[in-house]
Structure 1
Amino acid sequence: MVMFLIRTLIFVASAAVGLIVADLVLEGFTIDWSHPLGFILAIVIFAVLQSVLAPWLATVARRNAPALLGGIGIVSTFVALLITAVIPGAGLTIGAPWWTWVAAPVLVWIVTALATWLLPALFIKKKVEARRAGA
């Protein structure tokens, strides 16, 4: 149960990092920082959608179009961003230029994947250093 909670927190944190990097880098990708609850809602909606859509789309692709399996992560990121941007009050807007809709899923997917890989290593490293210092 503890590991599930840690993995969930890491996934939500990586989703937040991905959305923040996209906000900083992409012109038409905007997080409404004046309403912090909206941003938290956007993170939660995006993370939940991403965690549900990726396995579901992988199953659908495996049955119907196996050649698409490699792109499932980006496709599920695109769909999760689209739904999150459409929900009023979610604190996330994706607009012009048009290429933001292409670049945002790729950037968020890459940053989220890297954060999901690196964040556990940082936590484990801190825990190991703390144990060594106490021993």
Structure 2
Amino acid sequence: MIMFLLRALVFLVSAAIGLIAADLILDGFRIDWGDWWGFVLAIVIFAVLQSVLAPWLARVAQRNAPVLLGGIGILSTFVALVVVALIPGAGLTISGALARVLAPVIVWIVTALATLLLPMLLFKKKVAERRAG
């Protein structure tokens, strides 16, 4: 149970880092910083959608179009961002064609890197303790 919660925490933090990176890099990608609750809602909805959509889209692609399997991460990120942007209270807006195309790529890359690196940084001491004994 603890590992599940730690993985969920890492995934939520990596989603937040990905969304913040897109906000900093793209002009058409905006997080409403005046409403912190909206940003938390956007993170949670994005992370849940991402974790549900990626395996589902992978199964659909594997059955119907195996060539698309490599792009499942970006596709699920795109769908999750569209859904979050459509929710009025989520505090996230995407405007402009360039932002709609680049936002999923930026969020996907940053989230993937954060998901890979965060456990190493956050749980470095715990891993060292386990290895030692």
TM bin, normalised by shorter chain, reads over 0.9
The equivalences for 1:50-65 within 5 A come to: 50-65=50-65
1:112 paired with 2:108, answer: no
Q: CA deviation at 1:27?
A: 0.5
Q: Deviations over 1:68-120 (max 9, x none)?
A: 00000000000000000001110000002x11111000000000000000000
Which residues of structure 2 form unaligned runs of 5+? Answer: none
Q: Deviations over 1:39-90 (max 9, x none)?
A: 0000000000000000000000000000000000000000000000001110
Give me the whole-angstrom Cα distance separating, in 2, the residues matched to 1:63 and 1:128: 38
Provide the alpha-carbon RMSD of the alignment: 1.1
Give me the whole-angstrom Cα distance separating, in 2, the residues matched to 1:2 and 1:124: 13
| Structure-2 change in CA distance of 1:57 and 1:128 (3 Å) | closer
**Identity of matched residues, %:** 71
Aligned residue number for residue 83 of structure 1:
83
Q: Deviations over 1:5-29 (max 9, x none)?
A: 0000000000000000000000000
- Give the match's secondary structure for 1:115: helix
Structure 1: 4+ residue segments shifted above 6 A: none
The AA in structure 1 aligned to 2:112 is A
The equivalences for 1:1-135 within 5 A come to: 1-96=1-96, 98-127=97-126
TM-score, scaled relative to structure 2: 0.94
Which residues of structure 1 form unaligned runs of 5+? Answer: none
Give me the whole-angstrom Cα distance separating, in 2, the residues matched to 1:6 and 1:61: 29
The AA in structure 1 aligned to 2:83 is I
Give me the whole-angstrom Cα distance separating, in 2, the residues matched to 1:88 and 1:124: 36
The AA in structure 2 aligned to 1:44 is V
Q: How many residues align?
A: 129
